[in-house]
Amino acid sequence: MSYCVHCGVELDRTEVSCPLCNTPVNNPNQPIDINGKLPYPTLKGQVDPVKRGDSAILLTVVLLSTAVACGALNLLVFKQGLWSLYIIGLCALLWVFFIPVLIYSRLSIYLTILFDWAAVALYCWIIYYQFPVNHWFLRLAVPIISLLTAFVLIFTFAIRYFKTSILSTAFLVFAEIAGLGVGLEIFIRMFLNQKIHITWSAVVLVCCIIIDGMLFTILKRTRLREEVRRRMHI
Amino acid sequence: MLNEKYKTNKPRKDRQVWYKLDLSANVYPTLQRKNFSSVFRLSCLLKEEVRPDILQEALDRTIHRFPSFHVAIRKGLFWRYLEPNRNPGPFVMPDIINPCMPMPFKSKHQHLIRIYYYDRRIALEIFHSVADGGGGMFFLKTLIAVYLRLLGHEIPDTFGVLDINEPPHREELEDAYLRYASSKIRLPRSQQKAYQVSGTKEQFHTLNIICGVIPTDKILAAAKRYKVSLTEYLNAVLIYSLLEKQKSDGNFRLKPVTLAIPVSLRKYFPSMTLRNFIAMIYPTVDPRYGDYTFEEIVDQVHFYMRYHLNAKYMNASISTNMSATRNLFVRIVPLFIKDFILKRYYMRIGDKQASAGLTNLGPQSVPEEMKEHIERFDVLMGQPFSAKTNCAVISFGNVLTVNFASSIVETDVEMVFFRKLISDGIPVKIESNRNMEVL
C-alpha cells in the first residue's frame, strides 16, 4: 500500500497522485497498478433530454390549423372583409413568443426579444393594412413598440449582468415606467401634431422619481436596507 | 399524504393513488434547474462482482414493495404531487464517473430513482422528494437482500430488509410531518449569512468525490478522547477545516462557519415512513469572536447539539415550516408564484445560511446472513446547489466512510479535514474520481 508523503493518507493502488494534494505517488516497493480496477468508473453520464419537442409540435399544429381553418372560412364562407388576417397574425405572434421557450433554449435572449418586437410590429401592420389612417403604423405603433422593446432589453441586460436585489430591480422598473410614460406621451403628441410637452406623464414621472429616490436611499443606507429586509422578508 | 388505501390486488386502481409531497419534498422540485437536481446516492460495496441481469430481476421484484419509490412527479395548480409511474423500468445501468446527475422530471420514463452497478458496487440514486436517506436505506437493503436470494443465499426479512411479498404498511407511505408537527412556538426562519467556500467551479456534469475509508473503532476512540459523540467530532473537524480555509482565503471580513445538518426524526417521533422525515440544525462557530482551538470548536458543537437535539426543538422546527404550508393564503397561491418566491428565498437566504452540509446516516445493521457478502456502505449527498462541498458519513461494521461531494476544483477543505483525522491518530484510506490533470 502507498501513502501520500504530504497528507499521510493511504491511497488506492491505482492512484498516480494524491487526490487531496496532487503529490505524485513514488513507492519503489509497490508500483502503481495501472491495469487494476479503478475505484470509480470512467464512463461519463449524460442527462436525459427533456421532451420539449412534443409541446412545440403540439403548439405549432394547433396554431397552424387555427390559422389555416380561419383563412379557409374567410375565403369560402364568411367573405365579408379580411377578418381572418387578425387571427392568422395572432397565431404567428403566439408562435414567435412561445416557440423559443419550447424548442431552442440556447437562442440568445436578446435575439428572442427582437423577434418578439418583429412579431408585434407585424401584427400592428396587419391591423394597419385594414385601417390605413394617417400613417399611424410608422408614426405611432413602431416608435412605441421600439421604445418598449428597448426598455425590455435594458432590463434583461441589467438583470443578467449586474448583481441585482429585489430593491435594485424595483428601482430599475420604476425608472423604466417613468421613461415609458414620457416616451408614450411624446409619441402621441407627435402623432397628433401637437406641441411637444408633457402633462399626464409628468405626474407618472414625479411619482416614479419619488419612489426611486426612496429606493435609492434604502439601497445606500445599510441599516435602513436591513430594516426593510427584516420587516418585509417573505 | 396517501390519498387512498393502497391495494396491491387491484393494479388498475393505481391511477387513483397519489401522494401529496411532504414538507421537505415540496422544496426540492422548486430548486430544480437545468444543471441541478436534489439527488443523493446510497451504495453498497459487495464482496463479489455484481451480475446486472440478476440485479435487474431483483429490482423488478423489489420495486412493487415500494410504491412511493415507483412514482413520477406532476404539477398541480397549487402544489406538485407524486403519482404511480407506469412507464417501463427503472432499469439498472452501468455506473458513471459523475453520479447524482440532474434528474429532469419530463425526461424519458420520468423515474425518480436510478440504479447503477460497477464492479462490486450497487448504487441507488434517489430524487429527494421521494425519500430521505433513512427511507432509501430500506429500499437498498431490501434490493440487496433480494439480489442475494436470487444468487441462492438465505436472507431473512429483518434489520431493515422488508418482505417483498407483503403489501406496504400504510405508515410507510405517510407524511409523518403532518402527524407530529404540533408545537405552538415558531422558530426564526433565517439566520446570519455564513462563510461560503470560494473556488473554481467545475464544468457541467462534473461531481468530484473524495471518499475516506476509516476504521470505525479508531474514530470512535478519537471521539471518546474529546468526550463527544462521533457525529459531534466529525462536525467539529469539518468546521475546523472550513475555519482554516476561510483563514487561508485572507478575507477582510470574517463570517461565521455554519454546517447544515439533516437530522432523522424517526429517532424522536416513532414512524415507519419511508418518505422524508428530517429536520435541519445549524451548528455555528463565529471566528469574529477570536481564534478557536480545536477543543473549543468541539465544545461549541457538543453543547449546540445537546441543546438542540431533542423532540421539543425538532417539533418546533418542523411546526415552523409546516405553518407556511398550512396557511390558507399560501395554499391558494398558484404554484408558479410559490416556485418563484421559494427559489428566490432559497438562493438569497436559505443557501447562504450554511458553509457546508454534513449528514451521518449512522451505523447500518443488516441480517447476520447478509454481513458476509457486504464490505461497506457509502452515502453521497449529491451536487450542492451552489459551489460548496457536502459531506456524508455512514458506517457498517468496522468500516466508516466519509464521502465529500463538491463541484469545485480545489480540495482545500477535504485536505484539512483528512489531515486533522490523521493527526488525531485515525488511519484514512482515500478513493476518488477526481481527474488530477485539471488541478
Give the DSSP letter string of B161-194: ---TTSPPPGGGGS-HHHHH---S----S--PPP
pLDDT at B434: 83
pLDDT at B2: 41
Measured distance CA(B64)–CA(B177) in Å, rounded: 25
Average model confidence (pLDDT) across chain A: 86
Instruction: Tell whether A62 and A114 lie within a shared domain.
Output: yes
A47/B205 Cβ within 8 A: yes
Measured distance CA(B354)–CA(B388) in Å, rounded: 10
Which one-letter amino acid corresponds to residue B37?
S
Tell me whether A4 touches chain B (CB under 8 Å).
yes
Measured distance CA(B126)–CA(B54) in Å, rounded: 21
pLDDT at A163: 75
Which one-letter amino acid corresponds to residue B264?
S
- B301: closest CA among B248, B257, B361, B349? B257
Q: For residue A180, give its domain range.
A: 133-226
Would you place residue B325 in the very low, low, confident or very high pLDDT band (cuts 50, 70, 90)? confident
Measured distance CA(B100)–CA(B379) in Å, rounded: 11
Q: pLDDT tens digit string along A58-113?
A: 888 999 999 999 999 988 888 888 888 889 999 998 988 887 777 656 678 888 88
Does B191 fall in a domain? no
CATH number of the domain bearing residue B372? 3.30.559.30
Tell me whether A28 touches chain B (CB under 8 Å).
no
pLDDT at B372: 94
Q: What is the mean pLDDT of residues B62-70?
A: 92
Instruction: Tell whether B157 and B289 lie within a shared domain.
Output: no
Give the DSSP letter string of A90-105: HHHHHHHHHHHHHT-T
**Chain A residue with minimum CA distance to B347:** A165
DSSP state letter for B270: -
Tell me whether B209 touches chain A (CB under 8 Å).
yes
Length of chain B in residues, anyone?
439
Instruction: Tell whether B126 and B34 lie within a shared domain.
Output: yes
Instruction: Tell whether A106 and A150 lie within a shared domain.
Output: no
Tell me whether B427 touches chain A (CB under 8 Å).
yes
A40, A105, A222, best to mutate vs chain B, most B CBs in 10 Å: A40
pLDDT at B382 over 60: yes
Q: pLDDT tens digit string along A26-63?
A: 888 888 888 888 888 888 887 666 666 777 888 889 99
A15/B96 Cβ within 8 A: no
Say how many domains are in chain B.
2
Does B203 fall in a domain? no
pLDDT at A48: 63
Instruction: Tell whether A114 and A165 lie within a shared domain.
Output: no
Does B240 fall in a domain? yes
Instruction: Tell whether A125 and A143 lie within a shared domain.
Output: no
Would you place residue B15 in the very low, low, confident or very high pLDDT band (cuts 50, 70, 90)? very low
Does B418 fall in a domain? yes
Instruction: Extract the C-alpha cell encoding A56.
Output: 412545440
pLDDT at B392 over 50: yes
Do B244 and B430 touch, CB atoms closer than 8 A? no
pLDDT at B107: 67
Instruction: Tell whether B270 and B375 lie within a shared domain.
Output: yes
A22: left (phi over 0), alpha (psi -120 to 50) or beta: left
pLDDT at B9 over 50: no
A49/B427 Cβ within 8 A: no
Would you place residue A142 in the very low, low, confident or very high pLDDT band (cuts 50, 70, 90)? very high
Would you place residue B93 in the very low, low, confident or very high pLDDT band (cuts 50, 70, 90)? very high
Instruction: Tell whether A95 and A156 lie within a shared domain.
Output: no
Does B109 fall in a domain? yes
B89: left (phi over 0), alpha (psi -120 to 50) or beta: left
Does B301 fall in a domain? yes
A151-160, B192-201, B356-365, range with the lowest pLDDT? B192-201
pLDDT at B5 over 80: no
Would you place residue B135 in the very low, low, confident or very high pLDDT band (cuts 50, 70, 90)? very high
Task: Provide, rounded to the nearest whole percent, the portion of chain B with pLDDT above 70.
Answer: 94
Instruction: Tell whether B98 and B240 lie within a shared domain.
Output: no
Does A234 fall in a domain? no
Would you place residue B375 in the very low, low, confident or very high pLDDT band (cuts 50, 70, 90)? very high
Say how many domains are in chain A.
3
Q: Which among B344, B422, B432 is the nearest to A19, CB-wise?
A: B432
Q: Helix crossing, B230-249 with B216-225: angle to 10°?
A: 80
Does B193 fall in a domain? no
Q: What is the mean pLDDT of residues B214-243?
A: 96
Surface-to-core class of residue B47, CB atoms within 10 Å of its CB (0-12 exposed, 13-18 middle, 19+ buried): exposed
Instruction: Tell whether B276 and B361 lie within a shared domain.
Output: yes
Measured distance CA(B236)–CA(B38) in Å, rounded: 25
In the sheet with B374-380, reading across from the earlier edge strand, the strands are B92-94, B113-118, B121-127, B39-46, B374-380
pLDDT at A82: 84
Q: What is the mean pLDDT of residues A131-160?
A: 90
Instruction: Tell whether A63 and A96 lie within a shared domain.
Output: yes
Does A47 fall in a domain? no
Does A46 fall in a domain? no
Surface-to-core class of residue A170, CB atoms within 10 Å of its CB (0-12 exposed, 13-18 middle, 19+ buried): middle
Instruction: Tell whether B272 and B391 lie within a shared domain.
Output: yes
More confident residue, B258 or A109: B258
Q: How many C-beta atoms surround the C-beta of residue B85 within 10 A?
A: 21
pLDDT at B273: 92
Instruction: Tell whether B230 and B361 lie within a shared domain.
Output: yes
Instruction: Extract the C-alpha cell encoding A200.
Output: 399626464
Instruction: Tell whether A126 and A160 lie within a shared domain.
Output: no
Would you place residue B293 in the very low, low, confident or very high pLDDT band (cuts 50, 70, 90)? very high
Q: What is the mean pLDDT of residues B96-100?
A: 90
Instruction: Tell whether B341 and B424 lie within a shared domain.
Output: yes
Does A233 fall in a domain? no
Instruction: Tell whether B166 and B218 lie within a shared domain.
Output: no
Would you place residue B436 in the very low, low, confident or very high pLDDT band (cuts 50, 70, 90)? very low
pLDDT at B56: 96
Residue at which a domain ends, from B180, B196, B231? B180
What is the rounded (10 degree) CA torsion for B407, B141, B25, B185?
A: -110
B417, B430, B435, best to mutate vs chain A, most A CBs in 10 Å: B430
B349/A7 Cβ within 8 A: no
Measured distance CA(B122)–CA(B92) in Å, rounded: 9
Query: How many helices and strands, by DSSP H and E, does chain A display?
Result: 8, 2
pLDDT at B30 over 50: yes
pLDDT at B205 over 90: no
Residue at which a domain ends, from A78, A105, A132? A132
pLDDT at B10 over 50: no
Instruction: Tell whether B164 and B40 lie within a shared domain.
Output: yes
A9/B429 Cβ within 8 A: yes
A39/B211 Cβ within 8 A: yes
pLDDT at B6 over 50: no
Average model confidence (pLDDT) across chain B: 88
ipTM for the predicted complex: 0.83
Instruction: Tell whether B121 and B213 lie within a shared domain.
Output: no
Does A8 fall in a domain? yes
Q: What is the mean pLDDT of residues A178-206?
A: 91
Q: For residue B115, give its domain range.
A: 11-180
pLDDT at B156: 92
Instruction: Tell whether B242 and B334 lie within a shared domain.
Output: yes
Instruction: Tell whether A72 and A57 lie within a shared domain.
Output: yes
CATH number of the domain bearing residue B55? 3.30.559.10
